[in-house]
Chains A and B, each alone.
Chain A
């Protein structure tokens, strides 16, 4: 019996009480189907049994006034006029249920009580009803267990993370040109889903030694939320990453983007303990269906369609990705026009539009149909011969966190330089035009505005920006991260300062991290 329950329910919990209770919830509280909803409201149906009359007070006929149903017999009475109270007294039926919210009222205690078993049934029936109504799973707030309550009571000095709180922010010492790593750490520790995963202790380590990078990541979050003001020294992290990603080691040559991919890769490999188990309780060992937190958050699907120019047969492949690398104007490969024979001017590679290149322009270019040319003929399955073709990339599945990498460092055979072209990027981004599903409307290279205002699935919000200042040979990485709704902070190794949205949007941009705005349960 829970502390909020009462002993008077024991008289009720006999025989087939569970099933009876379920029927009451199904028919009168959380009506799942249209039929039960109708019966809840209307007068008695001719074809219905005598088991229950319609949902009105048996004494005054009211259908509102906090109607309650007796748990022992078929009686509905309103609470406001105390009709249900009268019934309880007369018949000594001391339990009733509120038909609006499903709470159980005990007339002996004269209060609503919360019995564990009965609440369990209530929750199950509510879930069933939501499913029938097509709502699916709903978010429920966290409730502490008895043990957790005890612990919390013993520790009354609690801090809540409000919008004006520094908890969650921490500087990072530069270990010798490790600013590239510090920026990625800042971006990862401010990825909301990742933060929630680690702070709720979801990682179960299966590695024997102390070399699990996921454990170190978990430790990192503890450090960031510890309330310590001195910067953290991420030496263990550096050691672990260099141990597990040997191709990165050696401290002169480091690129933040490369570090991000290597770190995600090691984290993904070390997440084995957290993979989802299938129905038989066995782990799904299939690497193609890894469901670790890294995959859940960062993995998207990139669709590549190659269309034969002769028979118009399409060959499609879908590859997983963790980031999208975007070409920029000013590199040795021409940026404009975006589509073959399209509406872009090619004078000096400048945009025909007034103003600067936008992230959207880069994405349009990325997803444009590209003629592969006569020197790159593809063997067509339909024509059974080598034919010219066009290739087009679109997003098949968007990750929860989308990372855009602006290719600012050119490493072609002749040129090695940094491209400093300003690319403007938005705070909010709608990826709908770049989805595989939107592709049909753009087959001709027409870039129409999508009219789907109500589709929230593809809306993203910027939450981290990594910037590089300097040249190819020498430079420094800093980052901007977002904490709470619209507060931005600049992270320059050990120095964390408040930044304005303008600072963020005016910055050059090298890695842009966007987070899906609306998350649904699967």
Chain B
């Protein structure tokens, strides 16, 4: 079709409509051509087959929406016996008790230093048995205590009185004053074999907040500020 100059004012409505129709069909044709080129290129370059999927295995992954089952079609609560290997002491631990184990293993818990104290004291009091025998017995008897942490506790023995309350670094960050009071009383009590439960329920999910306000120092990079 040749191009010609047409004055818009000379056209009536039906001619305008015909023109609009022409333009639209040209645009649609161009768009279709673009799609054809895309497919043509994909086939020629060899990546057109990528869209093919394995239908059978796709069916395996369909979402399940039935009561009593999770999205994979599995019954709830069948994962009781999962185990994992502690990265610190390399022992095999039940997954659902890994967190309390790790806490003691890394020497971070409230009780870790206390237990370490107790061991060191009882270890010093026995003269007949060799030190290594004592350690072996302890290992066999106590599931939660790891050898690694024991070593750590021993290192610190030289600089402090074994009976004094020892705190790991994390204690400094605990905000609740109630917990500090109970720690003090425990540390000063004579070492016992059985461990009494603390005032607040351990092992319960407590969302304790240390930093309560917006200005907590996560990444503060203040520009020049006014002096307060």
**A176 — nearest CB in chain B belongs to which residue?**
B99
Closest B residue to A41 using CB positions: B3
A496 at the interface (CB under 8 A from B): yes
Interface size class, chain B: 35 or more
Is B125's beta carbon under 8 Å from chain A? no
Asked if residues A472 and B214 are in contact (CB atoms below 8 Å), the reply is: no
Q: Is B102 an interface residue (CB 8 A)?
A: yes
- Evaluate contact between A156 and B54: CB separation under 8 angstroms: yes
With A247-B173, A255-B208, A256-B207 as known contacts, state yes or no: A178 contacts B45, CB within 8 Å.
Answer: no
Residue B200, interface by CB 8 Å: yes
Q: How far is the CA of A112 from the CA of B213 in the complex (A)?
A: 64
Which residues 178-228 in B have Cβ within 8 Å of A in the complex? 200-214, 218-223, 225-228
Residue-wise, chain A 143-178 has the 8 Å CB interface mask toward B (1 for contact) of: 110000100110011111010111101010111111
Q: Which of A23-31, A197-205, A231-239 contacts B (4 or more CB under 8 A)?
A: A231-239
Choose one: B96, B204, B209, B225; the contact of A317 (CB below 8 Å).
B225
Query: Does B147 lie at the interface of the complex (its beta carbon under 8 Å from any beta carbon of A)?
Result: no
A residues in contact with B70, CB < 8 Å: 171, 495-497
B155 within 8 A of A: no
Are A3 and B46 in contact (CB-based, < 8 A)?
Answer: yes
Q: Could you say which residues of chain A place their CB within 8 Å of the CB of B145?
A: none
Q: Is the CB of B205 within 8 A of A164?
A: no
A227–B226 CB distance below 8 A? no
Which residues from chain A contact B98 at a C-beta distance below 8 Å? 175-176, 233, 235, 238
A-B contact count (CB 8 A): 249
A2, A242, A243: the one within 8 Å of B45 (CB): A2
Asked if A35 lies at the interface with its beta carbon under 8 angstroms from chain B, I say no
The answer on a CB contact under 8 Å between A306 and B200 is: no
Across the interface, which residues of B come within 8 angstroms of A249, CB to CB? 103, 106, 108, 170
CB neighbours of A64 from chain B (8 A): 1, 26
The answer to whether A254 touches B108, judged by C-beta atoms less than 8 angstroms apart, is no
Using Cβ atoms and an 8 Å threshold, which residues of chain A touch B40? Answer: 112
Closest-by-CB residue of A relative to B46 is A149
Partner of B76, one of A177, A229, A495: A495
> Chain A contacts of B62 at CB under 8 A?
164-166
A318 touches B203 (CB 8 A): no
**Contact across chains for A473 and B201 when beta carbons are under 8 A apart:** yes
B95 / chain A contacts, CB cutoff of 8 Å: 173, 175, 233, 235
Nearest-CB residue, chain B, relative to A247? B173
CB atoms of A143 and B45 under 8 A apart: yes
Q: Is A325 within 8 A of B106, CB to CB?
A: no
Cα(A477)–Cα(B205), bound, Å: 9
Which chain A residues lie closer than 8 Å to B57 at the CB level?
A: 157, 159
What 0/1 readout, one digit per residue, does chain A (240-279) give for beta carbons within 8 Å of chain B? 0011001101111111111001000100100000000000
Distance in Å from the Cβ of A503 to the closest Cβ of chain B?
13
> Least Cβ distance of A84 to chain B in Å?
15
B160 within 8 A of A: no
Interface contact A254-B221, CB-CB below 8 Å: no
Cβ–Cβ contact A378 & B205, under 8 A: no
Given contacts A3-B46, A179-B205, contact A166 B37 (CB under 8 A): no
Q: Is A143 a contact of B47 with CB atoms below 8 Å?
A: yes
- Distance from A291 Cβ to chain B, minimum over Cβ atoms (Å): 14
Complex contacts, A474 vs chain B, CB 8 Å: 201, 204-206
Verify B3–A61 contact, CB threshold 8 A: yes
**What would 6 more interface pairs be, CB under 8 Å, given A164-B63, A252-B204?**
A4-B41, A101-B34, A101-B37, A233-B95, A255-B209, A494-B79
List 25 contacting pairs A-B, 8 Å CB cutoff, sorted by A. A4-B45, A60-B2, A100-B34, A114-B45, A158-B50, A158-B52, A158-B54, A159-B53, A160-B51, A174-B96, A175-B95, A175-B99, A177-B204, A239-B88, A239-B102, A243-B106, A250-B174, A254-B206, A254-B208, A315-B225, A319-B220, A476-B205, A487-B63, A494-B79, A497-B70
Instruction: List residues of chain B with CB under 8 Å of any chain A CB.
Output: 1-3, 26, 30, 33-34, 37, 40-41, 44-47, 49-54, 57-58, 61-63, 65, 70-72, 74, 76-77, 79, 82, 84, 86-88, 95-103, 106, 108-110, 169-170, 173-175, 200-214, 218-223, 225-228
